[in-house]
Structure 1
Amino acid sequence: MSFEDAVRPSHPSRYNDEDTSPTTQRELKGWYSYAIAAEVFAVVGVGLFLPVLLEQLPRERGVLFSDRSKPCVDPPGSGDAGKFRARADDADRKAQCIVRFLGSDVTTTSLAMYTTSTAVLFQAITLICFSSFADHGPYRKKLLMIFAYTGAIICSLFVFITSNVFFLAPFLVVISVTCLGSSFSLLNAFLPLLVSNHSSQGASGSSDDPPVYELEGVDRRDSVNSTCRFQPDKLTEDLTRSSKISSKGVGLGYASAVGFQLFSVGVIIAFNKLGLSKGNPTLPMRVILFLVGIWWALFTIPTLLWLRPRPGPPLPTQSQNNNTSAHRNSPILFYLAFSIRSFWNTLKRAFRLRQTLIFLAAWFLLSDAVATISGTAILFARTELHMGTIPLVFLSLTSIGFSMVGAFIWPRVAARFSLSPKTVLIACVVGMEMIPLYGLLGYIPIIKRLGVGGIQKPFEIYPVGIIHGLAMGGISSYARSVYAPLIPEGNEAAFFALYAVTDKGSSAVGPALVGWIVNRTGTIRPAFIFLAVLVILPSPLLWWLNVEKGRDDASRLAGEDGSAAVGGYARVGEYDRED
């Protein structure tokens, strides 16, 4: 430990090996570095190239939906290599292809959709099975590193996946997406700890304020009361600090994604100019994914070196368990049962925390709305506005670029107008609501006759992308910072796993309903009505959310569970119920 760390105040430990040393700038850089590392795969891989690969690779081995005697792609040497058969009688099917996968015939488009749904399911199961370990011992950081480097290696392996072994691609996607989501959940679990141990002299390096837990005459067992008496603005300070850390992480992640996405466009152009992709259209994308994996691994190194493990309580052992159950002699079954039981206990704790439950319900609706709008916008641009691949790439860049801008600007706006994180989150929801409302303008007769307005022209989608990006940057930054103080101390990883499961679990609801609407109407525009309702639904819940009461309830629950916690969110074992 450096001299600078040694002179900083530490909070009293609750158990052996607990690290309560103040958060340092180097530790924060390690936390930021993983956002830079993994967000590139989230945007460039999951958001852009993996869906294309999942459809393109099996297509090269598939047959036409309308005539299964004809291949979707002409074989090399036929004079039309790499071109899709465009038959008049198949125009309504958009040259849909059928491929054999796991003993069943599926369309290539459905294969991509099924893979995405499977990845969401496996991610949820993984979080349930492993999140409880992360709150014990040094496993939070160990699991983060395991998921990070496993995901990076799997991402790089896509360079070897050709159409001949297309059936391996869905399995690699499921593993890599599961690693991405699980690692981000574990990264988020460090946020409350970084804020909790971020003393006024810690990461900033200077302050005239006295150490919170060294006030004369204050019993450390009564840390909530001392915090409330001597620092009534503690929650506001912690929320502001949490929002700044979260926003900076999101902004840096988006910045790295935008830079790499621009680089990937250059790679594709270079491959086309040199003729390297002739007869092998997926090669540039697979090379890009290989480079994404390298990027992911390299920028995880600072996280490995600088982010402290911040160990939790030791894991229970079988010898501590008096049960003589069947899994007693099997460590794997013992800890699997422990994981499931712990997640179930997390659910029960969440139901005891009314404000936490309100937020999770709001987040379920909000994340569903965000995912649905993002997917619908791309579909609308391609099918209704007939935009090509390059314009769609620039639309993606516009949205991601302004998400980065939003992540950096919202904290300044909040500071300038003294807005709470909850207020900023509601403002971002209002901004997101403008998107479907603007699309509905296309139903107004006078605007419809003009042919401009209501997203009737391709150029109109770019201002919509700007609004989406600014709102998305705020939502990504402030959602987890609002949620962090609602978590009982010592349960960060488990509750952020619940946060992630809530996020991913809702991602299939909205798109499925939009698909049903499109199937019934034959056009996407009527779905704007559903989107307008879906986006506004979480607003009342966010309005009713009382973060201060939720923080106190979480402190009380931590005390009832026997946690003598001291930290930024002031959760302890003994809680004074008097005001």
Structure 2
Amino acid sequence: MSFDAERPLHHFRYENEDTSPTTKRELRGWYSYAIAAEVFAVVGLPRERGVLFSDRSKPCIAPPESDGEKRLRLRDGGGEEQCIVSFLGAEVTTASFAMYTTSAAVLTQAVTLVCFSSFADHGPYRKRMLLTFAYTGALISALFIFITPSVYYLAPLLVIVGVTCMGCSFSLLNAFLPLLISNYPDTSESGDNDLSPAYELEALNPETTSIRRSSPENLSRDLERSTKISSKGIGLGYASAVSFQVFSILLLTLFDKLSPTTNNPSLPIRVILFIVGLWWATLTIPTILWLRARPGPPLPAQSKPAFDKRTNNTFLFYALFSFRSFWNTVTNAFRLKQVVLFLVAWFLLSDAIATISGTAVLFARTELHMGTIPVVFLSLTSIAFGMLGAFAWPRIATCFSLTPKTVLILCVLAMEIIPLYGLLGYVPFVKSLGFGGLQRPWEIYPLGVVHGLVMGGINSYARSVFAPLIPEGREAAFFALYAVTDKGSSAFGPALVGWIVDRAGTIRPAFVFLAVLVLLPGPLLWRLDVERGREDANQAGGRGRKFEIGEDEDDDGGEE
């Protein structure tokens, strides 16, 4: 076999490559996983084992009163007392306990993606790894039923593993999107049973498939299909999350009415997480049955056994292969100007999203003095309108002939409404009215609507814009880079907001920073050229493949 480093990757054929047409059944299998995993949520259990910050002799949960129910201890002013727990020999507040756990989960997820994403582009491992992460995450969620207050220190471990499994599985699910689009039928919009025989023959022909994947004139059509599929997946995931949150609220209310939790207040949450695990595992079954594996090229040792002679340690060989492959992905990404533009814009946009979400909850609790139930309804409002946005943006784009890049820019501009509205609180005229500029709790709900509509568009369109920029055969590795960029950004904005709040003593000045942060991705998205990026991806597809396919780096390109 001869290799040409300048030849696009789609000219490299391999055994068991699946170029069969994408069917409605396969799409349903892809959608089903979004419905299955979107309901996974993280809750904190350590408060039941905590003591008051002001008096270490008193537990955070007060003893049962006359009605036999335990309650949180409150400050004299009516607010909840700060609660601390002992963990790994140090005393931390329960709020910090949750933040540290989340940070560790994000870091673990990033490392896992680096270690395993390269394997997902080879053989049948993309689907196998997706299902492995899915059922591990489902099991972890179900195991929360056993996390009683006496073993609360095991909760962070389960959270870290669960969040890692969810993040990695969604990254692998995203990696299927370019494959579903590249094999989407051109001559039929129908499902499993009524594809034309002529198209089925064409779809199984590697050369015609290559032409269909690389043809520049098909970019607009592929982007439209990608955004529709992506938006529907996001919308169904949001619908699943909203439905499950409503179910959870009803279940919590039922527990409260029946009062079976006098001595175990965390039981309702643990039951909900157990049901989440069952939901996740059950709704993944259609993914097992209907989503095709779409195998990639074989791993190096399978393709050329002699290649394994570089090391006698199989584990070491594959560890080096994984890290080298991810490093190659990073270096190849930096050679692709449009990929760099997108990832920098996505880093800034993700940071803005995470910062606005965190700041909004903090502002609601501290400045607007909203309780748990109103904040829960704020979350429900945002998620519900996120579902609406996911389904609405494709219709808006079709109606006004908007490109996916344009939709992303419009979403950025719409998100700017949130910090600008908060800054209205500094305007003397608005301040004298007593409302406007987030002076009243009810004002945050319309902003939750805006946030949801914007998030529905961003989550739907970001991955569909990124997909054409990926060299063929590197879907999982590049979407791992996409996920690492997304999660890696979430620490910077919130940290700066914390710095501002510590010095100002109030959250409102942070809206100035948020207003600037939200606008930063705009110019980069404006400069993004998706058509040029797709051409660059096609040209770069064959570069760096010698190591992965099994050629020695000093191979002169002769015949095997």
Query: Does TM, scored on the shorter chain, surpass 0.5?
Result: yes
Residue 345 of structure 1: CA displacement? 0.4
Aligned 8 A contact 1:13 1:20 in 2: no
Is the counterpart of residue 162 in structure 1 residue 162 in structure 2?
Answer: no
Within 5 Å, give how 1:58-207 maps onto structure 2: 58-75=46-63, 82-88=70-76, 95-201=81-187, 203-204=189-190
Aligned 8 A contact 1:365 1:534 in 2: yes
SS of equivalent residue, structure 1 residue 317: helix
SS of equivalent residue, structure 1 residue 21: coil
Please, which of 266, 288, 307 is the counterpart of residue 304 of structure 1? 288
Aligned 8 A contact 1:213 1:223 in 2: no
Residue 466 of structure 1: aligned partner: 449
Residue 322 of structure 1: CA displacement? 5.0
Aligned 8 A contact 2:300 2:307 in 1: no
Residue 282 of structure 1: aligned partner: 266
The separation in 1 between residues aligned to 2:433 and 2:393, in whole angstroms, is 36
Aligned 8 A contact 2:68 2:262 in 1: no
Residue 301 of structure 1: CA displacement? 0.2
Residue 303 of structure 1: CA displacement? 0.2
SS of equivalent residue, structure 2 residue 91: strand
Residue 223 of structure 1: CA displacement? 5.1
Residue 384 of structure 1: CA displacement? 1.0
The separation in 2 between residues aligned to 1:527 and 1:212, in whole angstroms, is 57
Residue 14 of structure 2: aligned partner: 15
Matched letter for residue 549 of structure 1? R
Residue 244 of structure 1: aligned partner: 228
Is the counterpart of residue 454 in structure 1 residue 442 in structure 2?
Answer: no
Residue 504 of structure 1: CA displacement? 0.4
Is the counterpart of residue 408 in structure 1 residue 396 in structure 2?
Answer: no
Residue 373 of structure 1: aligned partner: 356
Aligned 8 A contact 1:252 1:404 in 2: yes
SS of equivalent residue, structure 1 residue 508: helix
SS of equivalent residue, structure 1 residue 60: helix
Q: How has the CA–CA distance of structure 1 residues 310 and 524 changed in structure 2, closer, same or farther, with 3 Å as cutoff?
A: same
SS of equivalent residue, structure 1 residue 22: coil
Aligned 8 A contact 2:19 2:209 in 1: no
Aligned 8 A contact 1:26 1:306 in 2: yes
SS of equivalent residue, structure 2 residue 416: helix
Q: How has the CA–CA distance of structure 1 residues 227 and 309 changed in structure 2, closer, same or farther, with 3 Å as cutoff?
A: closer
Q: How has the CA–CA distance of structure 1 residues 191 and 227 changed in structure 2, closer, same or farther, with 3 Å as cutoff?
A: closer
SS of equivalent residue, structure 2 residue 92: strand
Please, which of 503, 522, 541 is the counterpart of residue 558 of structure 1? 541
Relative contact order, higher structure (CA 8 A, sep 6+): 2
Matched letter for residue 502 of structure 1? T
Q: How has the CA–CA distance of structure 1 residues 201 and 478 changed in structure 2, closer, same or farther, with 3 Å as cutoff?
A: same
SS of equivalent residue, structure 1 residue 559: coil
Q: How has the CA–CA distance of structure 1 residues 320 and 208 changed in structure 2, closer, same or farther, with 3 Å as cutoff?
A: closer
Is the counterpart of residue 399 in structure 1 residue 390 in structure 2?
Answer: no
Is the counterpart of residue 356 in structure 1 residue 339 in structure 2?
Answer: yes
The separation in 1 between residues aligned to 2:151 and 2:196, in whole angstroms, is 64
Within 5 Å, give how 1:199-278 maps onto structure 2: 199-201=185-187, 203-204=189-190, 220=207, 233-278=217-262
Q: How has the CA–CA distance of structure 1 residues 560 and 245 changed in structure 2, closer, same or farther, with 3 Å as cutoff?
A: same
Aligned 8 A contact 2:188 2:196 in 1: no
Residue 278 of structure 1: CA displacement? 2.6
Aligned residues: 533
The separation in 1 between residues aligned to 2:185 and 2:309, in whole angstroms, is 46
The separation in 1 between residues aligned to 2:118 and 2:138, in whole angstroms, is 24
The separation in 2 between residues aligned to 1:209 and 1:465, in whole angstroms, is 49
The separation in 1 between residues aligned to 2:18 and 2:417, in whole angstroms, is 46
TM-superposition CA deviations, 1:460-480 (whole Å, max 9, x none): 111101000000000000000
SS of equivalent residue, structure 1 residue 507: helix
* Percent identical residues: 67
Q: How has the CA–CA distance of structure 1 residues 252 and 358 changed in structure 2, closer, same or farther, with 3 Å as cutoff?
A: same
The separation in 1 between residues aligned to 2:309 and 2:216, in whole angstroms, is 49
Q: How has the CA–CA distance of structure 1 residues 411 and 559 changed in structure 2, closer, same or farther, with 3 Å as cutoff?
A: same
SS of equivalent residue, structure 2 residue 463: helix
Residue 31 of structure 1: CA displacement? 0.1
Residue 147 of structure 1: CA displacement? 0.2
Within 5 Å, give how 1:423-442 maps onto structure 2: 423-442=406-425
Residue 561 of structure 1: CA displacement? 4.5
Q: How has the CA–CA distance of structure 1 residues 469 and 548 changed in structure 2, closer, same or farther, with 3 Å as cutoff?
A: same
Aligned 8 A contact 1:368 1:510 in 2: yes
Matched letter for residue 13 of structure 2? R
Q: How has the CA–CA distance of structure 1 residues 385 and 340 changed in structure 2, closer, same or farther, with 3 Å as cutoff?
A: same
Residue 577 of structure 1: aligned partner: none
Q: CA RMSD in A?
A: 2.6
Aligned 8 A contact 2:328 2:544 in 1: no
Matched letter for residue 334 of structure 1? F
Is the counterpart of residue 347 in structure 1 residue 333 in structure 2?
Answer: no
Residue 320 of structure 1: CA displacement? 3.8
Q: How has the CA–CA distance of structure 1 residues 274 and 227 changed in structure 2, closer, same or farther, with 3 Å as cutoff?
A: closer
Matched letter for residue 177 of structure 1? V
SS of equivalent residue, structure 2 residue 71: coil
Residue 400 of structure 1: CA displacement? 0.3
Q: How has the CA–CA distance of structure 1 residues 362 and 199 changed in structure 2, closer, same or farther, with 3 Å as cutoff?
A: same
Residue 390 of structure 1: CA displacement? 1.5
Unmatched tracts of structure 2, length 5 or more: 1-9, 547-560
Residue 573 of structure 1: aligned partner: none
Unmatched tracts of structure 1, length 5 or more: 1-10, 564-579
The separation in 1 between residues aligned to 2:189 and 2:127, in whole angstroms, is 20
The separation in 1 between residues aligned to 2:351 and 2:146, in whole angstroms, is 34
